[in-house]
Amino acid sequence: MRLTLTTWNINSVRLRIELVAKFIKAARPDVLCLQETKCPDDAFPLKRFKRLGYEHVALNGQKGYHGVAIVSKLPFDTTDIRTFCDRPDSRHISVALGERASLAAPIVLHNFYVPAGGDIPDPSVNPKFEHKLQFLDEMRDCAPLHPNGDDRHILVGDLNVAPHEHDVWSHRQMLKIVSHTPVETEKLLAVQTCGRWYDVARERIPLSEKVYTWWSYRAADWAAADRGRRLDHIWVSEALRGTVRDFRITRDARGWERPSDHVPVTAVFDV
């Protein structure tokens, strides 16, 4: 069975529902994971997604901030929400795809929106950065999050860290900028190592190549400046590592009318 999965920080699903519709009409992912939906569950545009063919929806939203969602053509066996840092701030949701989706073996899918961390990379003066570091530590230490043995797990989302040198436009200039500071990159890579996760982008694209999924709104011409960061990730467990058939970043979406500052990131699996 071929499974196409996309992750996208949409930066308000209601504001950008037409962009979502445009993307999924063209790409037709089986499962779409959204971050920063910025709406409570009862305001999520369920009817529009159902008209587009996505009957199955798992939500963890709140008014105005954060929020994650998984919309799917395939039914879920179970859904789950985890709270990190003792804050009910809608940053995680997971689903299991299994018997109801006609899979021979189940897949657990985690969708994350890691805190951005503010502007000052010093936890002693910036509570937002302190929160981000604590969140990453809890992800590392959350045993139920990580796969074991033959578990088929996928972790996606806006992880708000660009961990490698060429995941940012200038490694040297970004070392003191939140999202690429050494403490953040070390902590995110520790999450990956602890869970024995494989980074699909860097499995398929050499570490020597620049790869971005986010471009700031502050740039007058984002494409010409091309000062991007790779903040959006798809990770898989060992059991799924050999099933990846394609990986793509829809860079053009950054140039659509009233875009998100993030673009869709897609992986295709034979499951």
Distances (CA, A) of 230 to 146, 168, 214: 22, 7, 6
Percent helix, strand and coil across the chain, each rounded to 5? 30, 25, 45
- Helix, strand or coil, per DSSP, at residue 221: coil
Tell me which residue range forms the domain holding 78. Answer: 2-270
Other beta carbons within 10 angstroms of residue 71's beta carbon come to 26
* Nearest residue to 44 (alpha-carbon basis) of 80, 10, 75: 10
- Digit-by-digit pLDDT tens for the chain (271 residues) are 999 999 999 999 999 999 999 999 999 999 999 999 999 999 999 999 999 999 999 999 999 999 999 999 999 999 999 999 999 999 999 999 999 999 989 999 999 999 999 999 999 999 999 999 999 999 999 999 999 999 999 999 999 999 999 999 999 999 999 999 999 999 999 999 999 999 999 999 999 999 999 999 998 899 999 999 999 999 999 999 999 999 999 999 999 999 999 999 999 999 9
Amino acid identity, residue 135?
F
pLDDT at 163: 98
- Indicate yes or no: pTM above 0.95: yes
Burial of 116 (0-12, 13-18, 19+ CB in 10 A): middle
- Helix, strand or coil, per DSSP, at residue 38: coil
* Number of domains composing the chain: 1
| CATH value at residue 96 | 3.60.10.10
* Nearest residue to 150 (alpha-carbon basis) of 181, 107, 110: 107
